Amino acid sequence: METKEILKKVRKIEIKTRRLSNHIFSGEYHSSFKGRGMTFSEVRQYQYGDDIRAIDWNVTARYNEPFVKVFEEERELTMVLMVDISGSEYFGTTQQFKRDTITEIAATLAFSAIQNNDKVGLLLFSDQMELYIPAKKGKSHVLRIIRELIEFKPKSKKTDLNEALKFFSSVMKKKAIVFILSDFMDAHYEHTLKIVGRKHDVTGIRIYDIHDSAIPNLGMVPMRDAETGKTMLVNTASKSVRDGYKAHYLASVDYFEKTFTHSGSGTISSQIDESYVKKLLGYFKQKGAK
């Protein structure tokens, strides 16, 4: 992809996702993810209705009239976007690939974070750590993240979320808001996720295609595994083949949902031709109400 084309695509995603974050998500994001606690802000004169426990008795004695301490939420947080860029993310049978939807969601979350003066970092993974961008503030930083999401070419097409979680745990020592964006066609990450979930606020966003769950009856069809690159003939006319494929898919979905729930993490599942806006908004509102 040429530089001019990349910049055009970045701009297009910026316009769409920034509008969403400005008008829809920034307020919900703020109420969903709390700061590190309350910090002292200022002292002002007592007003009717103020909590008498907030009275600053030293200042009150000095000026012979009541003054209260004002506290505000210590807001600054760090968000890390962990994005699966393995081969299966380039699958899609409707309007776009899974990776396109993942890029839009990641950009929306990143702009929501900087609207609230939070830092944003990016971790791209396959079955290895592909790229890590430490968290920073600012629009130019978010635009760099979007550009990497669009144009980065992974060294591997396989997936290993467990390794990505281990790397994240080793580099992120302070508590962070973590969004993991993937189709979660993977397993064996429950132990590491539980460790990460104890310290960080984790949400798994599962992006899937309508045809991930079932193979249509098309007879003998050559199929290529997006992650291994191997091609094989599959008899899609066989009911046992179709049922076996569906059972494998449903098992991966069940593993994702149970593993994240047991680790105390949140989950969102969105089909690539559904409105991820409604899914995110519903999730933020539910989280903010807790």
- Domain coverage including residue 122: 3-32+75-289
Q: What is the pTM of this model?
A: 0.78
26 & 136 share domain: yes
CA of 106: how far to CAs of 13, 135, 153, 234, in Å? 10, 14, 17, 35
54 & 188 share domain: no
From 48, 73, 98, the end of a domain falls on 73
25 & 42 share domain: no
Amino acid making up residue 74 = E
Helix residue ranges per DSSP H, the chain: 3-20, 26-32, 57-63, 98-115, 139-151, 161-171, 190-199, 239-262, 276-289
Instruction: State the total domains in the chain.
Output: 2
Distance (Å, whole) CA 119 – CA 105: 17
Amino acid making up residue 242 = R
- Please give the residue that has the higher pLDDT: either 241 or 198: 198
pLDDT at residue 74 in the model: 53
* SS3 state at 230: coil
* SS3 state at 44: strand
Query: What mean pLDDT comes out for the span 246-266?
Result: 94
pLDDT in tens, 74-106: 557 899 999 999 876 555 455 678 888 999 999
Contact 179, 140 (CB under 8 A): no
Residue 168, domain CATH: 3.40.50.410
Question: Whose CA is closest to 65, among 48, 46, 49?
Answer: 46
Distance (Å, whole) CA 185 – CA 27: 32
pLDDT at residue 39 in the model: 55
* Per-chain mean pLDDT for the chain: 84
